[in-house]
Amino acid sequence: MATKTFEDLIKDVHERGICQQCGGCVSFCSSAEYDIINFVDPYSPPVYINEDDCLECGICYYICPQTRVLDDELNKIYLFEGFSSMPIGNYLEIYSCQSNDKDFLKNGTDGGIVNTIINYLLEIDEIDGSIVSKTEAPFSREAIYAKNKEELIDSSGTQLNISPQLIELQKFSTYTHTIPELKNYKFNKLALVGTPCQIYSIRCMQSLGVTPSENVKICLGLFCYENFLFDRSQLDKFEKDFNIEFEKIKKINMKEDLIFQMGDNQEPHKEMHIPFNYMKDYMRVACNACDDFTNIYADISFGGLGSPKKYTTVIIRTEKGKLLFQKVRDAGLIKLRGISDDEIFRIQNILSAFSKKKIERKEKFMKNLNINLKL
Ligand SMILES: Cc1cc2nc3c(=O)[nH]c(=O)nc-3n(C[C@H](O)[C@H](O)[C@H](O)COP(=O)(O)OP(=O)(O)OC[C@H]3O[C@@H](n4cnc5c(N)ncnc54)[C@H](O)[C@@H]3O)c2cc1C
Ligand code: SF4
Ligand code: SF4
Ligand code: SF4
């Protein structure tokens, strides 16, 4: 079989409208200092910027989460028999917890656990920094390299001089090309926070032993049901669709649905829940072609689903993840919510139900597009 190239990626993925813009192909290709492909428009798939220089190596095709060429290799490592429990993947432990650090807890989307773990790794010099995501401007979230607590908190976006409502929406409305940022930190030890599509691509690179994945010491994966494309022109429609006054939104969370915490003098703590299937007009279309909700290839996965407000659900997947979480616990940095076996069973079930829903959505979408699940 002839080696597939970026040309084939355009045909098989971009032209079918299923590029998830994870940035994996750009991250690998540009780490070798070639300017061959890149994102030109932040809301569109990457393009050739120097096609003549393409080496036709095919790595971009191999590491794309939509071609799934390396599924079998990854599954041998991350879904080993005996421990695998699809559809939520292999796991060793499940917790519901929150940070003991008041800054991380206050600024965290849920329990502030992801940033607490990154900060611990920085303090004990296990990593030099972490690729996280920061609000740069209204509706624009950029990947950044955070080296200390201040930068981690700053990346939550709350320091910016724009309205809090916009900041909250930006947490989910625009996509961060997290992994291309990796190429700038070749000789550093990094933690990487990412959505399932991003972590998949990094794991493919690690499985092939290609740069810049060797810098990633730990993969911290976020649950992700879908992501949104929001621009200002859609705000009016959004307010009308859901009868929400945008300026009253204080916080947005994603769990089993989209949760808006409203706040004004009359109704200071009102919560509105919008089911994901009501958000179709704002969703990134390519997210329909994605079937991993709980980030099954991460070392540790994090989400709000399954836990109460201001707590994070944590799935420990690998031995590396288990050791790290144990150290963070021993250092007294997090508070575990005491949960019984029944409660763990309940969390497993709710995560499984959501994962199945996502798998079914993908199957339906691919069938309508007439695309085989494996290209
Ligand atoms: C697009 C998206 C969709 C999600 N969907 C769901 C869902 O459907 N159900 C659910 O239960 N949970 C979902 N989550 C996860 C949830 O919102 C929280 O991120 C998770 O519970 C961790 O919360 P925390 O308070 O422990 O993390 P924190 O301590 O607040 O840390 C989060 C860290 O992640 C970084 N970050 C966020 N997004 C990115 C990104 N794209 N690339 C790199 N770094 C990033 C932030 O900068 C921050 O450093 C989603 C997250 C995202 C980004
Ligand atoms: S050089 Fe290789 S990785 Fe880069 S675009 Fe060409 S085929 Fe893809
Ligand atoms: S690797 Fe990511 S950005 Fe590149 S084509 Fe595939 S989905 Fe799109
Ligand atoms: S649903 Fe989440 S993980 Fe899947 S493609 Fe969209 S952003 Fe990536």
> For residue 92, how far is its CA from the centre of ligand 2 (angstroms)?
37
Question: Is ligand 4 within 6 A of the CB of residue 227?
Answer: yes
The ranges assigned to domains in the chain are 89-369
Confidence check: pLDDT of 341 > 70: yes
Question: Is ligand 3 within 6 A of the CB of residue 304?
Answer: no
Specify the pLDDT at position 157.
Answer: 43
> For residue 57, how far is its CA from the centre of ligand 2 (angstroms)?
6
Select, from the ranges 29-43, 61-75, 147-161, 220-234, the one with the highest average predicted confidence (pLDDT): 61-75
Q: Whose CA is nearest to atom 15 of ligand 1?
A: 303
Q: Whose CA is nearest to atom 1 of ligand 3?
A: 64
Point out the ligand nearest to the CA of residue 51.
2
Ligand 3 atom, smallest distance to 18 CA: 7
Q: Whose CA is nearest to atom 5 of ligand 3?
A: 19
Question: Is ligand 4 within 6 A of the CB of residue 12?
Answer: no
What's the pLDDT tens digit per position in 98-141?
Answer: 999 999 999 898 999 999 999 999 999 999 999 998 876 656 67
Question: Is ligand 2 within 6 A of the CB of residue 59?
Answer: yes
Specify the pLDDT at position 365.
Answer: 93
> For residue 69, how far is its CA from the centre of ligand 1 (angstroms)?
27
- Mean pLDDT for the stretch of residues 222-245: 82
Question: Is ligand 3 within 6 A of the CB of residue 67?
Answer: no
Confidence check: pLDDT of 58 > 60: yes
Three-class DSSP labels, the chain: CCCCCHHHHHHHHHCCCCCCCCCHHHHHHHHCCCCCEECCCCCCCCEECCHHHCCCCCHHHHCCCCCCCCHHHHHHHHCCCCCCCCCCCCCCEEEEEEECCHHHHHHCCCCCHHHHHHHHHHHCCCCCEEEEEEEEECCEEEEEEECCHHHHHHCCCCCCCCCHHHHHHHHHHCCCCCHHHHHHHCCCCEEEEECHHHHHHHHHHHHHCCCCHHHEEEEEEECCCCCECCCHHHHHHHHHHHCCCHHHEEEEEECCCEEEEECCCCCCCCEEEECHHHCHHHECHHHHHCCCCCCCCCCEEEECCCCCCCCEEEEECCHHHHHHHHHHHHCCCEEECCCCHHHHHHHHHHHHHHHHHHHHHHHHHHHHHCCCCCC
Question: Is ligand 4 within 6 A of the CB of residue 133?
Answer: no
Q: Whose CA is nearest to atom 4 of ligand 3?
A: 25
Specify the pLDDT at position 162.
Answer: 44
Average pLDDT, the chain: 87
Point out the ligand nearest to the CA of residue 5.
2
Specify the pLDDT at position 267.
Answer: 62
Confidence check: pLDDT of 168 > 80: no
Specify the pLDDT at position 265.
Answer: 59
- Mean pLDDT for the stretch of residues 15-23: 92
